[in-house]
């Protein structure tokens, strides 16, 4: 449609003050009861159709997570299965779908590695994060490929709205763990900015037990990160801004599979480490054209670089991926009951690698539209998206949700959504371990939600869902990716929040049954049952809290022959506001020193568990001087 004709048509719409009761995006980032990621716009969490969990900066400081994955493990329906300690590949599963089937965004920009599909969440420093939103369930109509199981969006650190504010944090823990960060933020009625930098390093642990002698050292981790945010209101209706995040460092890891020696025909040890860099840049223009029409234009660039070395040889491996993206979205209020969202987006992936790929770039372009109706007796949401992929052609996906309020405190939602995922460059072209004949994965998801405000101090949410995967990609016995006929995931999850006698409790639980429908086997590394509990209380200047997490057993392989035992973890934390400017923090993770594994490796014909960190303590001081 001609843009001038669209603008003229919109100017004739009836004037309805649609956006006056919602905060702008920058202010919304600090609020727990709003959501941004579900529809790429600010909305009340109770109005969103997506099952969601939100962590604000206040939550992050209270929970004192060591990493982003530590935070995500508290979300019902989300499992984390890394291969060892800090810096290891995390293995994020949302509602039983693997990492490559879930979309990760930083300030709206995709950060997944185009070769592997992983999003390097293990390399993001929590000190640079203002807010995390987790959507459970497909959002492919809004985001296209990869949003089959859910969406994780990370918003980088923001700061003071008025005046200047500085912050300095330093932490010290066992295993030579050191954390240091420095930030400066400020603003006035028109302009806000934040500049932060941090250093996180630890000597780590020996992730593998029985293995090559060269793997017997501890696997250290070092991360230097920086973030910058700048926003400026040109007038009352137009905002422009810029976001940047850069994480770089060194990560040591074990390779129990060894390196094949062509002379002796034996595997030999390695001492491997990688230099990594994960970065994203974004700029935007957000404009209110009139009282019924808002538009937002975003341009982005992200990079995922990794260079792997071996101390015992001259081996060097480079895997760098680059992504440029654009998104244009328009939100229209037609009247007091009807609203419309329409837009277009596109991105291009490029690969620069020491390993030759038959293809090293591809693009994806899309257009989408979504209508929402909100009435007294029921509400609906209906969306349609058309993707054009350079390699795999056209894909159409649609979704629909019916919301029925039972009374003022209870809502029931019934949803259907479709999704797809194109194979990664590794899936298609990695020499010796790829399949150029792979087809895209497709999904159909069904969900029944119940949301209840039991009282002013309690909230209950529960979901029953089913996801059917067609042409799901899995590795065969020769580690070659194949389209298995189909897989299905049935699940139940619930979250309960309660405030009682000054205590705040958050309980989450999940039960899933993820199966390959051909073999009947459980999909690998998916625990059938998970539960977590956080309890916190503030006594004037003193805060105390405790966490408990339980995960049932699972299988490491698709054939269900390698068993991974379940585990339960317990942690403690406290904070003390020594003055208006100084805050002391202490936490004790895995307080009972539980020995456990979340994934396995093979050595000398036997299977062993990657070691996870035992009892871990960290003491920190935060200083926010009055400027």
Instruction: Give the burial class of 328: count Cβ atoms within 10 A of its Cβ; 0-12 exposed, 13-18 middle, 19 or more buried.
Output: middle
Q: Which domain holds residue 551?
A: 3-623
Say whether pLDDT at 7 is over 90.
no
The total number of residues shown for the chain amounts to 627
Q: Which of 5-14, 131-140, 360-369, 413-422 is predicted least confidently?
A: 5-14
- Give me the mean pLDDT over the 111-126 stretch: 92
> C-alpha distances in angstroms, 152 versus 14, 143, 474, 544?
36, 12, 23, 28
Closest Cα partner for 371 from 391, 357, 358, 385? 385
Q: How many CB atoms lie within 10 A of CB 600?
A: 20
Tell me which of 83 and 561 has the higher pLDDT. 561
Long-range CB pairs of 407-411, under 8 A, 24+ apart, other chains included: 409/452, 409/453, 409/454, 410/450, 410/451, 410/452, 410/453, 411/46, 411/449, 411/450, 411/451, 411/452
For residue 321, give Cα distances in angstroms to 107, 124, 146, 405. Answer: 19, 17, 17, 46
- Measured CA to CA, the distance from residue 135 to residue 154 in angstroms comes to 12
Low-confidence winner among 53-62, 205-214, 253-262, 284-293 (lowest mean pLDDT) = 253-262
CA atoms within 13 A of residue 329's CA, in its CB half-sphere = 20
Residue 477, number of CB atoms within 10 A of its CB? 8
Q: Check: CB of residue 387 under 8 Å from CB of residue 394.
A: yes
Question: CA separation (Å) from 559 to 212, 481, 518?
Answer: 26, 15, 12
Beta bridge partners of 346: 326, 365
pLDDT score at 281: 97
CB 548: neighbour CB atoms within 10 A? 14
265 pLDDT above the threshold of 60? no
CATH number, domain containing residue 520: 2.40.170.20
State residue 267's pLDDT score: 52
* pLDDT at residue 57, rounded to an integer: 96
- Average pLDDT of the chain is 92
3-state secondary structure 303-345: EEEEEEEECCCCCEEEEEEEEEEEEEEEEEECCCCEEEEEEEE
End-to-end CA distance of the chain: 52
Residue 391, pLDDT > 60, answer: yes
Map 63-100 to HEC letters. HCCCCHHHHHCCCCCEEECCCCCCCCCCCEEECCECHH
CA distances from 523 to 84, 93, 607 (A): 21, 11, 18
Q: What is the pLDDT of residues 66-106, one digit of tens each?
A: 999 999 999 999 999 988 889 888 889 999 999 999 999 99
- According to the model, what pLDDT value does residue 20 have? 52
Task: Tell me the average pLDDT across 408-437.
Answer: 94
Domains of the chain: total: 1
Provide the Cα torsion 466, 472, 476, 481; round to 10°. Answer: -150
Question: φ, ψ for residue 100 (rounded to 5)?
Answer: -70, -15
pLDDT at 183 over 70: yes
The least confident of 204-213, 257-266, 496-505 is: 257-266
Nearest Cα residue to 326 out of 369, 364, 287: 364
pLDDT digits (tens, 9 = 90+) for 30-74: 999 999 999 999 999 999 999 999 999 999 999 999 999 999 999
Closest CA to 425 of 526, 323, 324, 525: 323
Nearest to 254 by CA among 221, 212, 222, 223: 212
């Amino acid at each position: 449609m001609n843009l001038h004709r669209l603008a003229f048509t919109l100017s004739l719409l009836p004037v309805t003050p649609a956006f006056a009761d919602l905060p702008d995006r920058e202010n919304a980032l600090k609020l727990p009861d709003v959501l941004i990621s579900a529809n790429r716009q600010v909305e009340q969490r109770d109005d969103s159709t997506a099952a969601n969990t939100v962590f604000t900066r206040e939550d992050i400081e209270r929970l004192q997570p060591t990493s982003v994955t530590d935070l995500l493990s508290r979300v019902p329906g989300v499992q984390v299965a890394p291969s060892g300690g800090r810096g290891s590949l995390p293995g994020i599963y949302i509602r039983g779908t693997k990492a490559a089937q879930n979309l990760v965004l930083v300030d709206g920009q995709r950060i997944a590695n185009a070769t592997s599909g992983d999003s390097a969440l293990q390399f993001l420093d929590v000190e640079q994060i203002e807010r995390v939103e987790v959507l459970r369930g497909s959002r492919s109509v809004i985001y296209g490929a990869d949003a089959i199981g859910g969406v994780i969006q990370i918003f980088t650190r923001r700061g003071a709205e008025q005046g200047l504010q500085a912050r300095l944090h330093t932490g010290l823990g066992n295993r030579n763990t050191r954390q240091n960060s420095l930030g400066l933020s400020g603003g006035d009625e028109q302009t806000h900015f934040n500049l932060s930098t941090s250093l996180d390093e630890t000597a780590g642990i020996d992730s593998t037990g029985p293995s090559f002698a060269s793997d017997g050292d501890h696997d250290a981790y070092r991360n230097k990160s920086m973030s910058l945010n700048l926003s400026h209101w040109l007038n009352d209706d137009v905002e422009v801004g810029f976001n940047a995040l850069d994480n770089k460092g060194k990560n040591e890891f074990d390779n129990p599979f060894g390196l094949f020696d062509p002379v002796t025909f034996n595997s030999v040890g390695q001492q491997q480490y990688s230099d990594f860099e994960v970065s994203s840049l974004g700029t935007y223009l957000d404009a209110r054209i009139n009282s019924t029409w808002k538009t937002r234009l975003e341009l982005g660039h992200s990079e995922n670089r990794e260079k792997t070395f071996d101390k015992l040889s001259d081996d060097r491996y480079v895997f760098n991926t680059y992504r440029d993206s654009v998104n244009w979205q328009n939100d229209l209020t037609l009247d007091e009951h009807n609203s419309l969202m329409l837009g277009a987006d596109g991105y291009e992936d490029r690969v620069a690698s020491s390993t030759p790929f038959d293809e090293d770039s591809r693009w994806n372009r899309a257009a989408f539209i979504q209508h929402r109706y909100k009435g007294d007796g029921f509400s609906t949401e209906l969306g349609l998206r058309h993707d054009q992929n350079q390699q795999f052609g056209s894909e159409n996906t649609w979704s629909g949700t019916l919301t029925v309020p039972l009374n003022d405190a209870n809502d029931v939602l019934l949803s259907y959504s479709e999704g797809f995922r194109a194979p990664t460059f590794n899936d298609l072209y990695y020499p010796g371990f790829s399949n150029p004949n792979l087809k895209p994965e497709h999904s159909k998801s069904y969900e029944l939600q119940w949301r209840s405000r039991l009282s002013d101090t309690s909230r209950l949410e529960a979901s029953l869902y089913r996801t059917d995967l067609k042409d799901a990609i899995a590795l065969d016995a020769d580690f070659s990716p194949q389209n298995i006929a189909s897989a299905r995931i049935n699940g139940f999850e619930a979250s309960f929040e309660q405030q009682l006698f000054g205590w705040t409790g958050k309980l989450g639980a999940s039960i899933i049954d993820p199966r390959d429908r051909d073999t009947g086997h459980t999909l690998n590394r998916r625990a059938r049952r998970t539960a977590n509990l956080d309890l916190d209380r503030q006594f004037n200047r003193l805060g105390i809290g405790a966490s408990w997490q339980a995960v049932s057993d699972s299988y490491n392989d698709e054939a269900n022959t390698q068993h991974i035992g379940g585990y339960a973890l317990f942690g403690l934390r406290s904070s003390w506001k020594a003055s208006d400017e100084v805050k002391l923090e202490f936490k004790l993770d895995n307080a009972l020193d539980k020995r456990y594994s979340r994934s396995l490796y093979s050595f000398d014909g036997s299977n062993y568990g990657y070691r996870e960190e035992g009892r871990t303590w960290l003491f920190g001081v935060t200083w926010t001087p009055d400027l």
